Structure 1
Amino acid sequence: MPFSIIQLMISILLFFVLFFGIGFILNMLLRMTWIMTCIYPIVVIFIVDNIPFITYFREPEEAFQTLGTNLRSLAPADITVLLSGLAGTILAGFTMKALRKRGYRMF
């Protein structure tokens, strides 16, 4: 189903804000600046692929081939939405570093 421009813009904004918020909260709680940026590829695998995660350990060749096929078949709009989520996690990391540098101990 193709995206309209409005749906695409709202999806980009939602993914950015969602993953910025999740990244900010995880960074604040765990005090590990880039934790969500490291976890984000796994989240993308869960979003893109519909096979169980344990299959990557039981049948890795088939699982990774399926993942590669699914990633190559993504539309440019889908890739843009997923990249906006990655941008949100990266910005959350930079925000945490800036807040810590300015002396906010909670962050």
Structure 2
Amino acid sequence: MDPLQFVISILLFLILFFGIGFILNMLLKTTWLPGLILYPLVVLLIVSDVPLKGYITNPGESLARLGEKLMGLLMVDYIILGAGFIGALLSGLSIQILRARGYRMF
């Protein structure tokens, strides 16, 4: 991967998940929902080629295939996905700070 593409991907995932998490935190009046629940589901959809229904109907095979896919990722992929996770956590932290300072969101 080109270094410039790598840096842009990191910033894109960080900002994208921060923005999505911030909006969801405001609308749902939660603090950590995007970071703890929604982000892993998005990563599951990005990495896995198994439809979500497969995890319910055939969990053993679906989880085994997910494990193989996760083991096949490169370090670059883990860093980019980690940047998205940091963005989701920062959105929760920023909402928490804003609420503590008296800002009401919706």
Shared fold (TM-score greater than 0.5)?
yes
AA at the equivalent of 2:103: Y
For 1:29-63, what per-residue CA distance to the aligned partner results, in whole angstroms no more than 9, with x for missing partners?
A: 11100110121111100000011110001111100
1:67 deviates by 0.1
Residue 25 of structure 1 aligns with which residue?
Answer: 23
For 1:9-33, what per-residue CA distance to the aligned partner results, in whole angstroms no more than 9, with x for missing partners?
A: 0000000000000000000011100
State the percentage of identical aligned residues.
Answer: 48
Distance in 1 separating the partners of 2:60 and 2:10: 32
For 1:56-105, what per-residue CA distance to the aligned partner results, in whole angstroms no more than 9, with x for missing partners?
A: 01111100000000000000000000000000000000000000011001
Residue 102 of structure 2 aligns with which residue?
Answer: 103
Residue 51 of structure 1 aligns with which residue?
Answer: 50
Distance in 1 separating the partners of 2:105 and 2:5: 36
Runs (4+) of structure 1 exceeding 2 A deviation are none
Aligned residue for 1:28, secondary structure, equals helix
1:106 deviates by 1.5
Normalised by the length of structure 2, the TM-score is 0.96
Report how many aligned residue pairs link the two structures.
105
Residue 92 of structure 1 aligns with which residue?
Answer: 91
1:8 deviates by 0.5
- For the aligned residue pairs, the C-alpha RMSD in angstroms reads 0.8
5+ residue gaps, structure 1: none
Normalised by the length of structure 1, the TM-score is 0.96
